Structure 1
Amino acid sequence: MTDPRPAATAEAVAAASAGSYARIVAALIRVTGDWTLAEDSAQEALALALERWPRDGVPASPGGWLMTVARNRATDVLRRASVERRKLQELAELADPAPAGREQVVDDRLRLIFTCCHPALSLEARVALTLRTVCGVPTADIARVFLVSESAMTRRLTRAKAKIADARIPYRVPSGQELAERLPGVLAVLYLLFTRGYDAGGEPAFADEAIRLARLLDRLPPGEPEVSALLALFLFQHSRREARRDADGRLLPLDRQDRRRWDRAAIAEGLEVLGRVRGDGPYALQARIAAHHATAPDAEATDWPAIARWYDRLARLHPSPVIALNRAVAHGYAHGPRAGLALIEQACAGGALDDYPLALAARAGLVARLGDRGHAAALFRRAAARTAVEPERRALLDRADELLA
């Protein structure tokens, strides 16, 4: 009979890692200023847990146990290096925080987010470093996201951390004007992180991490409206996660999802957060669009004219080919497919959306509503041929088959 303890221990270590890894790394970086030492100490603590917990049992406070082991390992290394007494004293005082120490934990994580997302780093480096250091995602998994080898990603992460050290990038949350200047870059990283988790072929845990980090940022005083708006947007989008696939695992478009499976608690939280937002920044506008979808009782009741108006404002404030495409779809539902097709032609002018599968799929949907089923099916098939994500490809082919059935 198979011993269930190793599997149970592995699950306990994974759970403790998810809840404590970033906190441990952030605290050790704050005290030691050494990213490599912090990560190595946290990793060694996890390895020791896998070795000892099956024999000794899972401790009452797994996170506290990991923090103690990581702290002791870092202390030993620094002692051998003869560092100043101050660092050793701070490490000795570092322990699993009591409820009263919660603000320190939040501050450590926020410092880590802003350091990983410093504008001196490329956007790709910021995302990769956030995934590795803040979210604790294994390097091999990050490499798969960026379509590179694990060794190549290891080198990129090493270079990013070296640049932080060489440029003396401060390990802190900025304030005042500097916070206002740095915040859009941090939000862009979180948006990309969420998208990589929400996309059809993405890793859902990335979306969970983006929501968790957005909640941390939302605690920054004074409240930044675009942070709250981004959190609300994430919650509205994520509320549909369980309804996006049918029983066979195939993707379902929004109008075919079983809305009874939507996460009503997430929608309620999103509405509460959005209610605090004043102004019309790009994330606020996207959150208001998502709120219309989230609160419509069924597809037919969706307030498409209001959504089209929000997209008009978004396109003026933050023009991009993808926003122009979404605006065209909204107008196609609000004012008829011909109006939508005319706007798609404008959005595709200049070649910005050439071979973009979602542009072909959007055109196909509007053509189908005009009654030209053969042309629409051909467009869905062209879209399927241009996507590298298998769930999306299968969904597009299914739409083509339905039109020709």
Structure 2
Amino acid sequence: MSILDINKIRKDFPILDEKVNGRDLVYFDNAATTQKPSIVLDALANYYGHYNANIHRGIHFLAEKATSAFEDSRTTIQKFLNAAHKEEIIFTYGTTDGINLVAQTYGRKFLKEGDEIIISTLEHHSNIVPWQMLCAEKGCVLRVIPIDDKGDLILEEYEKMLSEKTKFVSVVHVSNALGTINDVKFIIDKAHAVGAKVLIDGAQASSHITIDVQALDADFYAFSAHKLFGPTGMGVLYGKSDVLNAMPPYRGGGEMIKEVTFEKTTYNELPYKFEAGTPNIADVVAVKFAIDYINDLGKENIAAYEDELLKYATEQLSDISGLSIVGQAKEKVSVVSFVLDGVHPQDVGVILDQQGIAVRTGHHCTQPLMNRLGLPGTSRASFAVYNTKQEIDKLIAGIHKVKKMVL
């Protein structure tokens, strides 16, 4: 039984009072983006209404207040990830941006023709396409860790792939499509044993799993604010300071420089070397409040409650004839993908939406994974701490209605 007061938590999220097609909103699309508590919405309004100013370069009151709030978020994120140094936290526009930053800086500088990059079958397109682009440019070889039929990585095959040719490994911490939690510590340790660097895509893990980048020994860790009750358009790339210092800048412009002449430019210190131009100030300021909200609830409490929801949903869905759950890994977060015999996933989504129930349908930006599973896509229900078992009951009733209408 959860120690959290879920009814109280639900009141923190104004959007949950919305009606969809005359029905109470049931929001089960949290793996795509989470809803935002009032404390985050208020932080955005407070910044724009009371101390909107550009940061770092101004000496007036508003600029100094904005700069302080901006850098407070960096410190909060450092603690959230247990990074060793504040300057190891780079603000990006999201997980995709962070992965591209690493591919286009570390990859371009240090990888060469014939070097091997390892990803996995579970990857989101954002952790596939940047590496394909790099391989096309540099002549590197992309290798892929296979999965079993339950959706677990076959780590024995991963170990066989590793060699002196392996220079980089980039894998997802948690699958957005199946909910699989990968043993990233094992993956990192094995990669380091052959001298490879490792990036972990933490987009789906950030709101569900306690993350300690020092314990993991990750070289890079990327995530997006909007997956953990924060704003869209803002993300984080953690990198070990020695690795980041060895990398060239990603973009040129203001803030990432020390001195500019027409003959030569010298670059700024970390983290500013990678933060060219006016950043997404308001959203960076607001993400601190999202993380504070998570910390106040307790990540372990959130995880325990979401696991309750996952188990309940899995049990209830398993009782529906003709429904198959896709992805039954040993360790999962609160994501359930499913297919219904004779019904296209898009039709499932449309009919559920008519009942006020928001799920995600399609390939979930994981087309290679869907190809491996032999599916065009799935319907995906993903749960957050503000969801309830009563809402899952509505989902079950909605799926029965789908069957009556389509079959």
User: Structure 2 length normalisation: TM-score?
Assistant: 0.23
- Indicate the structure with greater helix content: 1
Give the structure with higher Rg (CA).
Answer: 1
- Indicate the structure with greater strand content: 2
User: Structure 1 length normalisation: TM-score?
Assistant: 0.23
- Identify the structure with bigger relative contact order (alpha carbons < 8 Å, sequence gap 6+): 2
